[in-house]
Structure 1
């Protein structure tokens, strides 16, 4: 884990103006002091964090296709969702896997955690591996509509090359899975 941070470029927050408080995100405008003493403004999207699951069923990854309003199109993605207040990432990952796909597993293995858009948002996604799945019924949220699919590694990589998969968490999961198949390790 990267322990040291270069403080030479640190920006000190002088003021925070809250612009919007929503169900999933909030937006604020921060007035900051730059390292050279000048001031600037930063627009920051605050997010509670999220989880994503690389679920493997019969040597295929479980994906869902769902419409994403921000992009005005459907995307093929691994199961994922936001953290509820006070929820641990592993618990959220198990919940999202069950809700979106109907699959359950006894154990999840952490793969990595990463920031989605650090230039303007603090969202972090915790990515997990789920194997030894048992099938059940999905329990979608009332405003959630999706289609579950299964892809081999070769199909998933072809979808990335063809632009059918363009979601960063899913691409990250695909290449982690490829590494895992080749080496037995995720790191």
Structure 2
């Protein structure tokens, strides 16, 4: 046991939906006191930085209800239970953009908000793109947008790109350009 570990004394699911489960845990703190933790449990997700032959990154514009507005994001989606992240990345990129990648490489993985959620996101780079037809889910309305690195940073400065996975992807792309790769 680490010196900061919180021992779970009681856990109660308070909501279970299609995307998340919310639970309330009572924990014993390292100093012996108790506290509660509100936790969001999620099966994980993937995101793809797809770079086309013209050195433009592929984004999708979509409405995000929690923000009550449209934003630009890299293609991404939720892992189905037991689904391999590589397979999910290929599926999501094709569904949302129509593109297939000849090369799909896992770049990193990270927890999106570990203070209250266990969602892990697997970040991929997709290259050697072949264009096809997008097949978004029936409740998904997206528009494919392709931007240069400079245009993408302008979009970020304008607040059109504002989610963590896409901001991380832009800085990763910028570091690759600066390295000459």
Indicate the TM-score class for this superposition, using the shorter chain for normalisation: over 0.9
- Where does residue 26 of structure 1 map in the other structure? 21
Q: Deviations over 1:90-142 (max 9, x none)?
A: 11000000000000013211111111111111111100000000000111100
SS in 1 for 2:140: coil
Structure 2: how far apart are the matches of 1:102 and 1:36?
Answer: 53
| Alignment partner of 2:47 out of 49, 52, 58 | 52
Structure 2: how far apart are the matches of 1:184 and 1:49?
Answer: 32
Q: Deviations over 1:26-84 (max 9, x none)?
A: 10000000000111000000000000000001200000000011111111000000001
Structure 1: how far apart are the matches of 2:93 and 2:158?
Answer: 26
| Alignment partner of 2:91 out of 65, 77, 95 | 95
Structure 1: how far apart are the matches of 2:64 and 2:158?
Answer: 19
- Where does residue 161 of structure 2 map in the other structure? 165
Structure 2: 5+ residue stretches without partners? none
- Where does residue 7 of structure 2 map in the other structure? 12
TM-score norm. by structure 2 comes to 0.96
Structure 1: 5+ residue stretches without partners? 1-5
Q: Which has the higher strand share?
A: 2
Deviation of 1:184 after TM superposition, in Å, equals 4.9
